[in-house]
Amino acid sequence: MLDRLVRKLAHGAALSENDHACLSHIVRHARIVEPQQRLVDEGDANQRVLVMLEGWAYRSKLLASGERLITDLILPGDISHVLTNLLGYADHSVTTLTSGIMAEIHPAEIEVALECSLGLRRALRWSSLQTDSILRQALINNGRRLAATRIAHLICEVRARLHAVEVSVEESFAWPLTQDELGDVTAMTKVHVNRSLRVLRENGLILLQQRRMHVPDAGRLAAFCDFTPDYLHLGYNSAEVRRSEMRASTMEMQAAVRQRVD
Amino acid sequence: MLDRLVRKLAHGAALSENDHACLSHIVRHARIVEPQQRLVDEGDANQRVLVMLEGWAYRSKLLASGERLITDLILPGDISHVLTNLLGYADHSVTTLTSGIMAEIHPAEIEVALECSLGLRRALRWSSLQTDSILRQALINNGRRLAATRIAHLICEVRARLHAVEVSVEESFAWPLTQDELGDVTAMTKVHVNRSLRVLRENGLILLQQRRMHVPDAGRLAAFCDFTPDYLHLGYNSAEVRRSEMRASTMEMQAAVRQRVD
DNA sequence: GTAGCTCGCCAACATATGTGAGGGCCAAAT
DNA sequence: ATTTGGCCCTCACATATGTTGGCGAGCTAC
């Protein structure tokens, strides 16, 4: 059951047997969660740390006007609300998208585990840095790219993150977001999401049907939106290699797509 | 010289004398930096941690198209690139805006300091959570608000953050950003920044002159953009911290620490 | 069955923001 | 004295995205 979590953290630090034991101990009280279940409410004086063992969720914030934005997706293996026991209250809400398995950790247990395990300290610091990096990437995506590219980039990111915790994403994968929710992630209206999905579909880049995302050619999609997985800090030993490989293939792809678009 | 840094971290955790000593030790090699000096380059295999003791800087990312976005501002007392030694390379650039004083910390020293000081571990975790929170707020601002409001909100945030480290922001304060740079922060073009600043000026909300930001009525500006400083997690509740300190000193915890020492 | 709901889909129109160009001011360089 | 370059400012026009409203397919409740 810890599979996703362990695989995820392994990208950040080598975990010893002792580290694994600590990890198992703190997430031993996992429970089933329902889709569309509010786990944390903005403003809660809530001190729990959530670990998503299976399933999707998201963090969101509201404006006074009622407008909403989903700031980040929580995928299997992700830790939500990390170490939030140091803040007085939650600055965002957390809601599930699918049913799933979630562990809730009491702050005191987190403290103990961190004291016991160097590997865990490393892994959680890494996880926190990855979160930052993903947020920064979202900022530049939403701020500086056109709608279709923004969506394409999100799809590539989710694919890469799922792949990193060994969820199969070969030809297609589960995509629980409605178009409305997708708009809340990419900072646009559902109408424009619909328009942009059509563009992607008409270019043969994706097919979204019955909550499944089909990506016939992941390389072409990545080229279309200029996606490079560096910022996810996965497989960090081979980062150099993958980066140069990626650049080479990206150039080819871009040329191909440019031809097609003209 | 550590003034800003200490004041900032004090918002996150109570620091003992020992903690202060650790802090002084790791930032002892501070140096002067120039305006517009590139400190870290996207892609660098750089492992330093930067602490901005005085002056402003920013983190930015580039797209392949050459477009730029400033993902966050680094203000006096802020720690840049926290614990980045766990990542293989920098996922963003860091550039100074003003001259200032900066300390560069070697990863090994960070590790030692963190092992030595519980207060510092707390403070850095808090700082990291605050960074996340600021990034999420930026996402919803840039994604869901109109230009003038976005800019107004940024001004309110900077005011609050400067105030938190005891930089005077009474009637006016230094504002080193050009309109072009401001556009890179708020995800718009410099032309539109100019238009929006005019709106704010004509409404008597701000006056930006010679790189000084004048805010005649901070309350009115905050009301205009619906700014609430909660998400900055400043003004920390001392009762709350005392409570978590008590938790930290449970038997469990002491046992854990003893184990670690062996 | 039918009513009511959510969700995907689409079209016509409205508008916030981007683009490209240019003028004025001022300090630094020549 | 002149030039250069950065920055602020503005206009006219272009366009990406928002808004409103509508249609139909599927699902559930009754």
Q: How confident is the model at residue A1 (pLDDT cuts 50, 70, 90)?
A: confident
Q: Do B144 and A69 touch (CB under 8 A)?
A: yes
Give residue numbers, 158 to 217 of B, with CB < 7 Å from strand D: 178-180, 190-191, 194-195, 197-198, 208
Concatenated DSSP letters for B50-62? EEEEES-EEEEEE
Chain B residues in contact with A59 (beta carbon < 8 A): 136
Round to a whole number and report the distance in Å from the CA of B191 to the C1' of C22. Answer: 13
User: Which pLDDT value is given to residue B80?
Assistant: 81
Chain B residues in contact with A88 (beta carbon < 8 A): 233, 236-237, 240
Is residue B74 within 8 A of residue B52, CB to CB? The reply is: yes
Q: Which two tokens stand for residue A227?
A: 């996606």
Pairwise CA distance, residues B51 & B157, whole Å: 20
User: Which pLDDT value is given to residue B83?
Assistant: 58
Q: Do A116 and B260 touch (CB under 8 A)?
A: yes
The nucleotide whose C1' lies nearest the CA of B194 is D9
Locate the DSSP E strands across A11-99: 30-33, 38-40, 49-54, 57-62, 68-74, 79-80, 93-96
Smallest CA-to-CA distance from A8 within A118, A153, A160 is with A160
Burial of A237 (0-12, 13-18, 19+ CB in 10 A): exposed
Pairwise CA distance, residues A144 & B211, whole Å: 26
Pairwise CA distance, residues A142 & B61, whole Å: 13
The H or E element that residue B103 is part of is strand B100-105
The residue of chain A nearest to residue B255, with distances taken between CA atoms, is A112
User: Which pLDDT value is given to residue A31?
Assistant: 95
Q: What is chain B's pLDDT, residue by residue, as a tens digit (262 residues)?
A: 789 999 999 998 899 999 999 999 999 999 999 999 999 998 888 678 899 999 999 999 999 999 999 999 999 999 986 555 566 688 899 999 999 999 999 888 888 898 889 899 889 888 998 999 999 999 999 999 999 999 999 999 999 999 999 999 999 999 999 999 999 999 999 999 999 999 999 999 999 999 999 999 999 999 999 999 999 998 654 434 444 444 443 344 334 333 433 3
The nucleotide whose C1' lies nearest the CA of A144 is C18
Tens of pLDDT, residue by residue over A191-208, are 999 999 999 999 999 999
Q: Do B187 and A112 touch (CB under 8 A)?
A: no
Residues A61-81: what's their mean pLDDT?
93
Q: How many CA atoms lie within 13 A of B217 on its CB side?
A: 11
User: Which pLDDT value is given to residue A85?
Assistant: 60
Pairwise CA distance, residues A156 & A169, whole Å: 11
Pairwise CA distance, residues B1 & B77, whole Å: 10
User: Which pLDDT value is given to residue B112?
Assistant: 87
Is residue A98 within 8 A of residue A35, CB to CB? The reply is: yes
Q: How confident is the model at residue A252 (pLDDT cuts 50, 70, 90)?
A: very low
Tens of pLDDT, residue by residue over A9-26, are 999 889 999 999 999 999
Model pTM score: 0.90
Tens of pLDDT, residue by residue over A73-111, are 999 999 986 555 666 788 899 999 999 999 999 888 888
Pairwise CA distance, residues A31 & A104, whole Å: 8
Residues 35-64 of B with CB under 8 A from A: 43, 59, 61, 63-64
Task: Kindly report the nearest CA distance between residue A233 and chain B, in angstroms.
Answer: 7
Radius of gyration from C-alpha coordinates of chain A: 19
User: Which pLDDT value is given to residue B240?
Assistant: 44
Q: Which two tokens stand for residue A234?
A: 């996965």
Contacts A–B by Cβ distance under 8 A: 153
The residue of chain B nearest to residue A72, with distances taken between CA atoms, is B136
Asked if the model's pLDDT at residue A179 lies above 60, the reply is: yes
Q: Do B86 and A145 touch (CB under 8 A)?
A: no
Pairwise CA distance, residues A127 & A79, whole Å: 8
Smallest CA-to-CA distance from A11 within A185, A149, A130 is with A130
Q: From the list A59, A63, A111, which residue is nearest B226 (CB)?
A: A63
The H or E element that residue B5 is part of is helix B3-10
Pairwise CA distance, residues B211 & B178, whole Å: 8
Asked if the model's pLDDT at residue A242 lies above 60, the reply is: no
Residue A12 in contact with partner chain B when CB distance is under 8 A: yes
Residues 184-243 of B with CB under 8 A from A: 187, 226, 230-231, 233, 236-237, 240
